A and B are shown apart, each in its own frame.
Chain A
Amino acid sequence: MPIIRADSLVKEFRRPKRVPGRFGAVRTLLTRQYTVTRAVDGVGFDIDAGELVGYLGPNGAGKSTTIKMLTGILVPTSGAVEVSGVVPWRDRERNARHIGVVFGQRSGLWWDLPLIDSLHLAATLYDVRPADLRAHLARFTDLLGLDEFLTTPVRQLSLGQRMRGDLAAAMLHRPDVLYLDEPTIGLDVVARDRIRAFVADLNRAAGTTVVLTTHDLDDVEALCRRIILIDHGRVLYDGDVATLKARHAPHRELVVHLAEPGPVEIADAEPVAATDGRVTLRFDPARVSSADLIGRVLARHRVTDLSIVEPDLERVVAGIYADRTA
């Protein structure tokens, strides 16, 4: 039984058509013509409880708009959405009780007050019992390293500190579903790792369902078993990361360092680059296993070092988008 169901979701934004020329501004004000932008165009998926799903797409693909429909912020133009049996936009307050939302670009904290005040306020808004609040606060403070800036006003926090504060505030009421919209945008490596570890822990230990939108494919490789790839408001791919790579990037590369530079010719492998005795061979693991290939290379050449390079997700995804726009 899926916890999140989205079916043929469509969201259109309508705004008055700009009228150019003389008195354009006034005529724009009076016009009855509208420009319609279809930001989400028939998106559908089911997400089971306990999944950790990466929702990916280039800028303007419709990621945030989808998340805003799932969280109840926006009303879909058509299609259906249901989270834990609640239609989010129709019953926002009930929906809010079992979801947590973090927008990387916008803080949900009280800007001028110390972080600890925001956490206490969040507890009040969600009716978290004092004993639970103490327990969760202690745990989050520990996991996210909040203690050094709990009493600092939010506006003086660094981006990484603020994000950690936002995550804690969003999770105090132990929601079943956590939506993270670009949670690691602009963060340094340390802060990013901390947030990834926290999210992974929530998902593993508490079974929290997580939907993560991001540009950072490292986030996805580190965290997600399943990804949903969208562009121009439509789903391009929905499945696990390994299958995506196998389908769109079937080749792997064997990099060999030769003791004596020279040409390398091996059956079932195509040399794609060679510099100073460092040769890159591309091969299809479905046709030849890496062990066989390495055996063949070693039989013919003296090799000082070798390594196998997996295709990285970034290149796979870039390839898919390039194919689609071509």
Chain B
Amino acid sequence: MVERIRRTVRVWAALARAGLRTELQYRANFAFGILGGLALQGAGLAVIGTILARFQQIGGWSLPELMLLYGMRLTSHGLWTLPCSNLMVIDTAVREAEFDRYLTRPVAPFVQLVTRRLPVTTISDLLGGLAILGVALATTHLHWTLPRVLLLGLALVGGALVELSGQTAIAGLAFRMLSTGSLKFTLDDVFNTFGNYPTKIFGPAARWALTVVLPLAFASYVPATVLLGRTGELWIPVWLAWAAPAVGVALFVAAYRFWRSQLNRYASSGH
């Protein structure tokens, strides 16, 4: 088992380096991608700034608190898009029968798919997220204990896994549907729209939908309430709030299993 994991890491690293070299072949695209990414982050933050300028608070959350949530969300987003955003191009890989070769090599097809290119431009998400998070941590004056530090770190990864699970499950449908563009961009939109605000402001129905149906509340909002001492506003038990990172892991394990089971539906192309 340990040997298997070490091998996967080694192969992943080799493939990712190749993906990076591929990406760097197109230098102009690379540069514009990073600039564009940073501009997009700035625009997102500006929207929140505009709302705050008018209302001072959103759902009782002050600017530094909102920045903490926003920073956590964006960092998580960057943590999954940097290594795995090629999951989004699965339609092409399936329709053009690129999967033929993924299935005839002794490496998990998931690893081969996500490393076909390394979209370095998504690093702007990660850098932007970390910067905002840094400012938020400096201005919220929280009382830090070891469990809370651990929770923050794990929650960033857990948040990445929550979003990655959704995209992985949709990618699994690609073997049957061949075209999943609208689904995955809708999911991306939902995360980018609802993920940046405290989930409680959306009213009871949406609140439950975002906890149970599409559990994006667990990505950043729930752990942020723990860090900010706001668990009082939650509609789930506090222990579950602490376990938010585990929710991400569980979701990803389930999504990955589903994805693997769908490989057998792959029909390649031609006869």
A124 touching B14 by the CB < 8 A rule? yes
For chain B, residues 1 to 33, give those with C-beta under 8 angstroms from any C-beta of chain A.
7, 10-11, 14-15, 18, 21-22, 25
CB distance from A252 to the nearest CB of B (A): 36
A101 touching B14 by the CB < 8 A rule? no
The contact size tier of chain A is 35 or more
- Asked if A68 is at the interface of the complex by the 8 Å CB criterion, the answer is yes
CB contacts (< 8 Å) of A74 on chain B: these are 266-268
CA distance A93 to B4 in the complex (A): 12
CB contacts (< 8 Å) of B15 on chain A: these are 121, 125
Q: Which of A108-116, A136-144, A187-195, A297-305 contacts B (4 or more CB under 8 A)?
A: A108-116
B18 touching A71 by the CB < 8 A rule? no
- Asked if B264 is at the interface of the complex by the 8 Å CB criterion, the answer is yes
A68 touching B100 by the CB < 8 A rule? yes
Q: Which residue of A lies closest to B108 (CB)?
A: A93
CB contacts (< 8 Å) of A101 on chain B: these are 100-101, 104
CA distance A101 to B268 in the complex (A): 15
A113 touching B101 by the CB < 8 A rule? no
CB contacts (< 8 Å) of B120 on chain A: these are none
CA distance A99 to B101 in the complex (A): 12
Q: Which of A57-65, A275-283, A288-296, A306-314 contacts B (4 or more CB under 8 A)?
A: A57-65
CA distance A234 to B122 in the complex (A): 50
CA distance A39 to B270 in the complex (A): 10
Say whether, besides A60-B271, A112-B22, A117-B21, A73 and B104 are in contact (CB < 8 Å): yes
* Chain A positions 46 through 61: 1 when the CB is less than 8 Å from some CB of chain B, otherwise 0: 0000000000000011
Say whether, besides A68-B100, A73-B266, A124 and B106 are in contact (CB < 8 Å): no
* Chain A positions 91 through 109: 1 when the CB is less than 8 Å from some CB of chain B, otherwise 0: 0111111010101001010
CA distance A72 to B11 in the complex (A): 21
CB distance from B104 to the nearest CB of A (A): 5
CB distance from A61 to the nearest CB of B (A): 8
CA distance A13 to B270 in the complex (A): 11
Say whether, besides A110-B18, A117-B21, A73 and B103 are in contact (CB < 8 Å): yes
Q: Which residue of B lies closest to A14 (CB)?
A: B267
For chain A, residues 131 to 178, give those with C-beta under 8 angstroms from any C-beta of chain B.
153
CB contacts (< 8 Å) of B22 on chain A: these are 110-113
CB contacts (< 8 Å) of B21 on chain A: these are 112-113, 117
**Residue of B98, B103, B108, B270 with most chain A CB atoms under a 10 A cut-off:** B103
A72 touching B271 by the CB < 8 A rule? no
A121 touching B18 by the CB < 8 A rule? yes
Determine which of B11, B25, B108, B270 lies in contact with A124 in the assembled complex, contact meaning CB atoms within 8 Å: B11
B271 touching A62 by the CB < 8 A rule? yes
Q: Which residue of A lies closest to B98 (CB)?
A: A106
CA distance A121 to B15 in the complex (A): 7
- Asked if A7 is at the interface of the complex by the 8 Å CB criterion, the answer is no
CB distance from B222 to the nearest CB of A (A): 37
A64 touching B97 by the CB < 8 A rule? no
- Asked if A240 is at the interface of the complex by the 8 Å CB criterion, the answer is no
CB distance from B216 to the nearest CB of A (A): 28
- The 15 listed contacts between A and B (C-beta, < 8 Å) are A60-B271, A71-B103, A73-B103, A73-B104, A93-B108, A94-B106, A106-B101, A108-B101, A113-B18, A113-B21, A121-B14, A121-B18, A125-B105, A125-B107, A126-B106
Interface residues of B (CB under 8 A from A): 7, 10-11, 14-15, 18, 21-22, 25, 97-101, 103-108, 264, 266-268, 270-271
